[in-house]
Amino acid sequence: MGAADTGSTRVVIVRGEGPHTDQWHSLDDTSAAIARVLEEGVGCAVDVVGTDELTAESLADAALVIVNASSNLDLEPGSSRAVVDLLVASVARGRALLGVHSSSIAFRDDPRWAETLGGRWIRGVSWHPPIGAADVVLTSAGSALFGVTDFAAHDERYTDLEVASDVEVLAFHREGAAEYPLVWSCPTAAGRVGYSALGHGIESYDSPGHRAMLVALVRWLIG
């Protein structure tokens, strides 16, 4: 699907509800911000569907599914099987998938989600410095794919995520002398899969660099 086809492209944002939320993220607001970026920058149609209402029918004609969900790490995870069943099946049908920010914390009871996403937040290991100016560094692969340069955003910098060895890191941040992946793509025989750890709050989407990267990433995902 080329750029000329994006006007007829449908994107579904799966917004976490109930056990797929937490006390730190306003998923309603960030889902709306993502929708605005894609409607303006890609020209696609965007629908937001809560995890409680998610069905196979709501994903049936989506070229891309974006997961904007989370989990309260202070509580035992709720059952995620029904939601993950639908997401895994969507990828298996050749649909693209993008997880954003706290989606690496979501669906903790179902290992298929981390396997699909290519990484996850590990309680007691993963962390982030205080939210603030985040310098995002593009790898050579990321620069070639996105056509953008390094940029800054007001965001959290997820650190020490568990990341699968076979992902392709597209952007990272530095903490001390170490580099930590922020954006990657995952090898898959079916639909394309990516993850971006950016997007804690709507302020992150005020960054022109973040918006440009997100638009380029989505264009690549939908092919």
Percentage of the chain beyond pLDDT 90 is: 92
Compute and round to an integer the Cα radius of gyration of the chain. 16
Residue 6 pLDDT: 59
pLDDT per position as a tens digit, 9-20: 999 999 999 999
Dihedral angle over CA of 223, 49, 211, 105, nearest 10: -100
Residue 1 pLDDT: 30
**What's at 151, amino acid-wise?**
F
pLDDT per position as a tens digit, 94-113: 999 999 999 999 999 999 99
Helix axes 27-41, 208-221, angle to 10 degrees: 70
Residue 143 · residue 217 · CB < 8 Å: no
**Which residues, other chains included, contact 132 with Cβ-Cβ below 8 Å and sequence gap of 6+?**
154
Q: Which two tokens stand for residue 73?
A: 């790490």
pLDDT per position as a tens digit, 123-144: 999 999 999 999 999 999 999 9
Taking the model in full, what pTM does it have?
A: 0.95
Q: What phi and psi, each to the nearest 5 degrees, are found at residue 45?
A: -85, 130
**Hey, what domains does the chain have and what are their CATH numbers?**
3-221 (3.40.50.880)
Query: Which pLDDT band holds residue 7 (cuts at 50, 70, 90)?
Result: low
